[in-house]
């Protein structure tokens, strides 16, 4: 059922990876693997606060171990509802770190090489970095963890369906099982475990046994359920033969055979942890069996430290048993702790710096950051961002992401938590605002000119396709005004510009553009003589009440005919919730496929920015989908009225965060020259300044 599980370092080296199907294996090797997508879109763009990332039918879950800079990723088919993934991640994270802590610490240290330690390190470190051999035992461990969790999940699910069908007759429960199988056809065929399918075939006898077992459980629930104790739960007479059978099975069993055989009742009951829910905590007797006092860790300063895993034991058969214990212990711990914060994962690795940490501890430093430490600082940062007009949920998500990236990280020296958070936040905001695609429109226009020229030269025609930019947005944000500023800028760069008046709704819209064109034409003519090609700027209009998509198409055709380089398409403002109008806009986009779709938004906007952008983006993508064509979304933003907000520039962050697209221009005044490009460092500074 799982597709891929990967453990890797933040620097990009994969320490261990496993794919469960051939398709997933090939995919995981490709550029578009779920892990790569996750890192690119969720982690680098700072959206890691969502605990689940979905792409191409995959659901991806992950967890970070910040002190060792590790990423644990599990990918599975989105349609599956795997309840145990969260537990699996926690379990493998804890186990992996515990098992390989010394190796990992050394490995991470080797990736942060420092000059003073150089020569010796190179010499002694190089031979031992073979991950395959270093983690060769991990395969086994992982298999066991996965199988235990899967069986537990299966058990729970089965129990649930049973309870649904009620404690009626056998036939009813059988049909319940059948319907269950129909509902989840992938369960049987899914075959997550590479070795063998864990689910047992359900024959009549098996079902009878299960029901008997269920009855025992129901009875035993209120009293001391001795599931894990010896022969407990055999209280009632009707179950006696079952329990006898169980005990005989137990006697005959020599060792644990995971997954190789059909799991017996005994196994299932042993693995059923479903009673560990907070509602009915196991009694003291059961709890005793859960904790092996010998291998119990030490409690120190309120932090529970798991005992270190001893490597010396790792060869024989007995080790397997130990490993089993270790794994199941960890699993139990994760399920017990799933309600609260897992204290076990915060155990401090006892490497060389233990002495140092104690000494520096006097000065209040070098300790891993905890949620408690970060909470108040992050809340303060969130408030601060919101004061800067960042939309509420964006501020929340950014701060959550920062918190996640810092949790468990060690702060050293005299650096305060606040300083650490401040630096991380600055980093995150810079990353969000930095464009990931080229924002050089002039280059793109020339590029298109060149490529279409060369292709058409072969055909004998010398007409090239114009570069088209569509301006969209809600009413009154300044689409037409800023369109004319862009036109002015393009004219300055010696392009011939055609403006298409596709706002056929608002009275005066066409006239407004006509005035702009007249002004711009006069401005240009003052500087440069009109060349032989004709006008440098022109307006294409068809009056009011016409179909905007058609006008745009005609305008592009006209521009091609007349040799204009760029077509700027002005559209009517519309509310993002108005579906008919959004459909009309999407039609315009689908019909003309403009090179750039620029969303125009005000810098004044607060929480509304998120709503506007998401709905515009979604509507455009959904409605402009054609046969074989994927929908077009927004390609960039133009933020207007920048001069009105002083340093409350949060809208810029909100907008880039929502779409992931860059801010192409900023409008900041009344004249044609008041168009700027955004400098990221400037915005970051404004956002973080007090």
Residue 682 binds other proteins (CB under 8 A): yes
Which residues ranging from 613 to 672 are in contact with other proteins (CB under 8 A)?
Answer: 642, 665-666, 668
Residue 122 binds other proteins (CB under 8 A): yes
- Angstrom distances, CA of residue 352 to CA of 105, 311, 348, 358: 11, 18, 12, 11
* Shortest spacing between CB 398 and other proteins, in angstroms: 14
What stretches of 607-670 adopt beta strand conformation (E)?
A: 636-640, 663-667
Strand-pair partners of 62: 73
Helical (H) or strand (E) element with 61: strand 58-65
Which residues ranging from 123 to 152 are in contact with other proteins (CB under 8 A)?
Answer: 126, 129-132, 139
Sign of CA dihedral 195, 198, 199, 201: positive
Binding track, positions 181-220, relative to other proteins; x by CB under 8 A = -------------xxx------------------------
| Distance from C-alpha of 529 to C-alpha of 475, rounded to nearest angstrom | 37
* Shortest spacing between CB 53 and other proteins, in angstroms: 14
Are residues 74 and 89 in contact, defined by beta-carbon separation less than 8 angstroms? yes
Nearer to other proteins, 187 or 431 (CB): 431
Binding track, positions 475-494, relative to other proteins; x by CB under 8 A = --------------x--xxx
Candidate list 66, 434, 593, 607; residue touching other proteins; CB under 8 A? 434
Which residues ranging from 29 to 68 are in contact with other proteins (CB under 8 A)?
Answer: 29-33, 35-36, 39-40, 43-45
| Distance from C-alpha of 628 to C-alpha of 276, rounded to nearest angstrom | 51
Residue 499 binds other proteins (CB under 8 A): no
Token pair listed for 425: 């936040």
The phi and psi torsions of 602 (rounded to 5 degrees) equal: -85, 150
* Shortest spacing between CB 8 and other proteins, in angstroms: 6
Candidate list 277, 307, 415, 457; residue touching other proteins; CB under 8 A? 415
Candidate list 281, 298, 379, 414; residue touching other proteins; CB under 8 A? 414
- Angstrom distances, CA of residue 625 to CA of 92, 473, 633: 41, 20, 10
Residue 291 binds other proteins (CB under 8 A): no
Sign of CA dihedral 520, 522, 528, 532: positive
Which ranges in 272-391 belong to alpha helices (H)? Answer: 284-290, 317-337, 354-362, 371-387
Segment near other proteins (CB under 8 A); pick from 55-63, 81-89, 182-190, 440-448: 440-448
Residue 112 binds other proteins (CB under 8 A): yes
Token pair listed for 185: 């056809």
* Shortest spacing between CB 529 and other proteins, in angstroms: 16
- For residue 41, the 8-state DSSP code is I
Residue 412 binds other proteins (CB under 8 A): yes
Residue 351 binds other proteins (CB under 8 A): no
Residue 25 binds other proteins (CB under 8 A): yes
Nearest Cα to Cα of residue 541 among 565, 567, 519, 510: 510
Residue 450 binds other proteins (CB under 8 A): yes
Residue 527 binds other proteins (CB under 8 A): no
Residue 105 binds other proteins (CB under 8 A): no
Residue 261 binds other proteins (CB under 8 A): no
Token pair listed for 30: 């490709």
Are residues 609 and 627 in contact, defined by beta-carbon separation less than 8 angstroms? no
Are residues 513 and 541 in contact, defined by beta-carbon separation less than 8 angstroms? yes
Binding track, positions 68-97, relative to other proteins; x by CB under 8 A = -x-x--------------------------
Segment near other proteins (CB under 8 A); pick from 113-121, 245-253, 503-511, 554-562: 113-121
* Shortest spacing between CB 204 and other proteins, in angstroms: 30
Question: Cβ of 497: how many Cβ atoms within 10 Å?
Answer: 30
Residue 118 binds other proteins (CB under 8 A): yes
């Amino acid at each position: 059922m799982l597709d891929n599980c990967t453990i890797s370092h933040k620097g990009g080296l994969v320490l261990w990876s496993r794919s469960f199907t051939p398709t997933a294996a090939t995919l995981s090797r490709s550029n578009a693997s779920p892990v790569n997508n996750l890192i690119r879109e969720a982690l680098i763009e700072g959206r890691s606060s969502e605990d689940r990332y979905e792409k191409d039918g995959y659901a991806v879950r992950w967890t970070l171990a910040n002190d060792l800079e590790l990423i644990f990723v599990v990918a599975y088919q989105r349609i599956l509802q795997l309840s145990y993934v969260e537990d699996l991640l926690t379990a493998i994270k804890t186990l992996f770190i515990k098992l390989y802590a010394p190796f990992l610490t050394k490995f991470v240290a080797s990736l942060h090489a420092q000059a003073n330690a150089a020569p010796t390190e190179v010499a002694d470190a190089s031979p031992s970095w073979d991950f395959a051999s270093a983690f060769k035992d991990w395969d086994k461990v992982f298999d066991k963890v996965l199988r235990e969790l899967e069986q537990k999940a299966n058990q729970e699910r089965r129990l649930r369906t049973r309870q649904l069908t009620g404690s009626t007759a056998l036939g009813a429960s059988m049909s319940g099982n059948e319907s269950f199988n129909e509902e989840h056809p992938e369960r049987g065929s899914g075959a997550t475990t590479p070795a063998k399918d864990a689910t047992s075939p359900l024959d009549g006898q098996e079902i009878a046994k299960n029901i008997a077992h269920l009855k025992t459980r129901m009875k035993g629930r209120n009293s001391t359920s001795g599931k894990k104790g010896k022969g407990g739960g055999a209280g009632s007479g009707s179950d006696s033969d079952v329990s006898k059978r169980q005990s005989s099975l137990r006697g005959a069993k020599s060792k644990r055979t995971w997954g190789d055989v059909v799991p017996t009742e005994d196994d299932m009951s042993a693995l059923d942890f479903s009673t560990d829910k907070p509602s009915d905590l196991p009694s003291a007797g059961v709890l005793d069996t859960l904790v092996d006092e010998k291998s119990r860790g030490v409690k120190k300063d309120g932090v529970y430290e798991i005992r270190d895993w001893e490597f010396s034991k790792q060869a024989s058969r007995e080790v397997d048993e130990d490993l089993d214990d270790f794994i199941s212990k960890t699993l139990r711990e994760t399920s017990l702790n799933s309600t609260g914060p897992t204290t076990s994962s915060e155990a401090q690795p006892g490497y060389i710096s233990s002495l140092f940490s104690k000494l520096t501890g006097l000065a209040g430093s070098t300790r891993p950051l905890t949620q408690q430490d970060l909470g108040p600082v992050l809340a303060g940062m969130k408030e601060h961002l919101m004061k800067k007009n960042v939309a509420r949920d964006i501020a929340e998500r950014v701060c959550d992401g920062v918190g996640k990236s810092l949790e468990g990280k060690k702060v050293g020296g005299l650096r305060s938590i606040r300083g650490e958070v401040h630096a991380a936040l600055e980093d995150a905001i810079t990353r969000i605002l930095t464009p990931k695609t080229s924002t050089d429109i002039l280059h793109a226009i020339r590029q298109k000119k060149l490529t279409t020229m060369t292709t058409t030269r072969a055909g004998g025609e010398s007409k090239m396709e114009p570069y088209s930019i569509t301006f969209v947005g809600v009413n009154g944000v300044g689409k037409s005004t800023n369109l004319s500023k862009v036109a002015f800028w393009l004219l300055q760069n010696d392009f011939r510009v055609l403006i298409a008046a596709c706002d056929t709704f608002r009275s005066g819209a066409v006239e407004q553009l006509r005035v702009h064109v007249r002004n711009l034409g006069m401005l240009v003519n003052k500087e440069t003589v009109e060349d032989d090609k004709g006008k440098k700027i022109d307006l294409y209009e068809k009056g009011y009440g016409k179909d905007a998509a058609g006008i745009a198409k005609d305008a592009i055709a006209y521009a091609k005919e007349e040799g204009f380089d760029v077509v700027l398409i002005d559209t009517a403002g519309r509310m993002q919730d108005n579906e008919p109008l959004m459909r009309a806009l999407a039609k315009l986009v689908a019909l003309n496929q403009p090179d750039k779709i620029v969303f125009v938004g005000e810098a004044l906007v607060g929480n509304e920015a998120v709503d506007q952008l998401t709905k515009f983006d979604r509507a455009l993508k959904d409605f402009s989908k054609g046969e074989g064509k994927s929908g077009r979304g927004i390609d960039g933003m133009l933020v207007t009225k920048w001069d009105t907000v002083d340093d409350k520039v949060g809208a810029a962050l909100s907008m880039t965060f929502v779409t992931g697209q860059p801010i192409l221009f900023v409008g900041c005044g009344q004249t044609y020259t008041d168009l700027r490009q955004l400098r990221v460092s400037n915005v970051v500074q404004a956002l973080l300044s007090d």
